Structures are given as C-alpha cells and as structure tokens.
Amino acid sequence: MNSKKSIISLYVREEGSALISFVIAFPVFLLMIFSIMQISLLFNAKQLINYAAYTAVRTGIVSYDSNQVDESQVLNEVKKSACVVLASISPKLRIASYDLEIDASRLDLYRAGLTENFIERFEMAKTLTLAKLETSEDDLRVEITYHCPLVVPIINAIIYKGYQLTSGSYSTSHSIKYALPISATCTLQIEKFK
C-alpha cells in the first residue's frame, strides 16, 4: 500500500514543470522575437528601396537628353543615385580597402568628404543593386532590385529557404549567403524643353 502511494506521488509532483515549460516555450518565444526583428528590417528596406527608385528616376530625368541619349550613361547615373540611398542599409564591404580599385565614382565620393565607412557601404550597395531603365515617348521608368541581406540568425535561413521554395531556384552574383531580392518601380514624366 505504501509503495502504491509513492508511485502515485511521482506522477502528482510538479517540481520540474516550470523548467519543462520554460524549455518548451523559450525557443518559440525567441523565434518569434527574431522574426519580428527581421521582418521590421525588411519593411525598412522596402521603404528605402521605394525611395531609391524615386531618387533614381529623378536622376534619370535630369540626366536624360532626348537629342543625345546615351542609355548606358543614364543607367550608370541612375544606379549610382540608388546606391547612395541604399548604402545606409548595405553591409560594409569585407575586403581590405587597398584591394579595391579606385574608380572615378569612388574618387568623387572621397572628394565629397564622405567617410570610409559610407564608401565601403556604397561599394557593397553597387554589388547588391540592379537597375533597369525603360523609356517611352513621355515617361521614364526605373526598376531597382536590391538583394537585401537577411541578418537575423536562424530566421535568415528560414525566410531564404521559404523564398527559394516559393519562387524556384534563386542565385545571385554577390557574396551574401542569405539575401532576398526586393524590387521597386517608379515612373515619372520626362520634361521636354524647347
């Protein structure tokens, strides 16, 4: 009879239940917090990409000349304008600064008094950004695609794998392991001066 009471008391005791509840609930809670952080970073990136597209199309309109159109030069200016905006969310370039070629745009940034940190982020934004330019008779349309780095641990792999499953295979030419392409388009009317 006494042994029967001791066996029943083993099942009734609640000494370790708080620890077990914590072990079960804490990873779920942590995953939820990480998800909120990454989604808020993606929302911020989407807003900046929209602004970058607007800035890029404004730059394209200013540098667009209907008499002498050098599409590649306009596209280069458009991409440079978008990269200036997107440098704030781009990671720093991970190679030594003496390995980088100093091209004309980098030299212009040095002359403008910008910091090395901004210039490294600008260089990374150039590798993460794609720009498309379309013109019609009256309109200039710019599409900016930015491969947004997913930086929050655990969630970055989950979001990236989910994107791969829904959109098919996805590969990029940059060195970021987890990046999600986010696009924005802006169209403005070309002003013609007589």
Task: Please state the three-class secondary structure of 51-101 as a single string.
Answer: HHHHHHHHHHHHHCCCCCCCHHHHHHHHHHHHHHHHCCCCCCCCCCHHHCC
How many domains is the chain partitioned into structurally?
A: 1
8-38, pLDDT tens digit by residue? 665 666 667 788 888 999 999 999 999 999 9
* Residue 194 within a domain: no
Close Cβ partners of 176 (under 8 Å, ≥ 6 residues apart): 91, 128, 147, 149
Residue 115 lies in a domain: yes
Residue 100 lies in a domain: yes
On whether residue 121 sits in a domain, the answer given is yes
What amino acid occupies position 160?
A: Y
For residue 99, the enclosing domain spans 39-146+181-189
* Domain-embedded: residue 71: yes
State the pLDDT confidence band at 99, using cuts at 50, 70 and 90: very low
119 domain-assigned: yes
pLDDT in tens, 100-139: 455 555 666 666 667 778 888 888 899 899 999 998 888 9
DSSP helix/strand/coil, 36: helix
pTM (global) more than 0.85:
no
Residue 22 lies in a domain: no
Highest mean pLDDT among 79-88, 119-128, 152-161 belongs to: 79-88
pLDDT at 6: 64
Whether 10 is in a domain gets the answer no
